Chains A and B, each alone.
Chain A
Amino acid sequence: EVQLVESGGDLVQPGGSLRLSCAASGFIVGSNSMSWVRQAPGRGLESISLIYSGGNTFYADSVKARFSISRDNSKNTLYLQMNSLRAEDTAVYYCARALLHFGVVSGFDYWGQGILVTVSS
């Protein structure tokens, strides 16, 4: 059974850092493209980062230069390192597996349960 379990969410002060983890089971993280999608309270979905199976990474402008996506194949785990956090980064963060077809995301087929990150003083 495929499962994604996020951890690491917390209350953090503006300017602080946090690392989210997403432990996968039922498939190999390193052989798949993976993404982080966030949802601010009462708002819609925002795709913020993608790591391709080959290792290339991508970031939305809203998090570029502050967030870093990575993976540990030995632990079958995806990470999101978040630095210089702002109040507007407050959201539920989901990790998701991205299905790619001819280089295009044809859907996020498995999602974690979501983890809350609150940035506030």
Chain B
Amino acid sequence: DIQMTQSPSSLSASVGDRVTITCRASQSINNFLNWYQQKPGKAPKLLIYAASSLQSGVPSRFSGHGSGTDFTLTISSLQPEDFATYYCQQGYSTPTITFGQGTRLEIK
């Protein structure tokens, strides 16, 4: 199975900060990489698909980049509602789909 590794596992930041989360695949997955946001007690929410395409309704402060094995999710200016856990997910090996272990973004 393709392993997805996120870094950091947790991150403290302040409102207004620019933050970047990294996701690395154990082999090339082209651009078949998606990002999700999950708040406590809630279902995940799709933010970015195909590495860099913004899902409808998602604020433009979220952006994704990357291809092959290395990907990033960037939040350009953190808002209070952005403090959550973020997951990457590869679809390259559909139907065997794997998620990263998550990055918890906390308020500093």
A residues apposed to B, CB below 8 Å:
35, 37, 44-47, 50, 58, 60, 94, 96, 99-101, 103-109, 111-114
Contacts and interface: CB of A to CB of B under 8 A. Distances in A.
Interface of B: 32, 34, 36, 38, 42-46, 49-50, 55, 87, 89, 91-92, 94-102
Given A44-B87, A104-B32, A113 B99 contact: no
Which residue, A44, A58, A100, has most C-beta atoms of chain B within 10 A? A44
Contacts of B95: 50, 58, 105
A44 B101 contact: yes
Nearest to A114: B43
Nearest to A52: B95
Given A107-B34, A108-B46, A109-B55, A46 B99 contact: yes
A44 B99 contact: yes
Contacts, number: 68
Contacts of A107: 34, 46, 49, 55, 89, 91
Contacts of B49: 99, 106-107
Nearest 9 Cβ contacts at the A-B interface = A105-B91, A58-B95, A111-B43, A107-B49, A47-B97, A45-B99, A107-B34, A104-B91, A50-B95
Given A47-B89, A105-B95, A106-B50, 20 more contacts: A35-B97, A44-B102, A45-B89, A46-B99, A47-B97, A50-B97, A58-B95, A96-B43, A99-B49, A101-B50, A104-B94, A106-B49, A106-B91, A107-B46, A107-B49, A108-B36, A108-B44, A108-B46, A108-B89, A113-B42
A45 B34 CA distance: 13
17 contacts: A35-B97, A44-B87, A45-B87, A45-B102, A47-B97, A94-B43, A101-B50, A104-B32, A104-B94, A105-B32, A105-B95, A106-B32, A106-B50, A107-B89, A109-B46, A109-B55, A111-B43
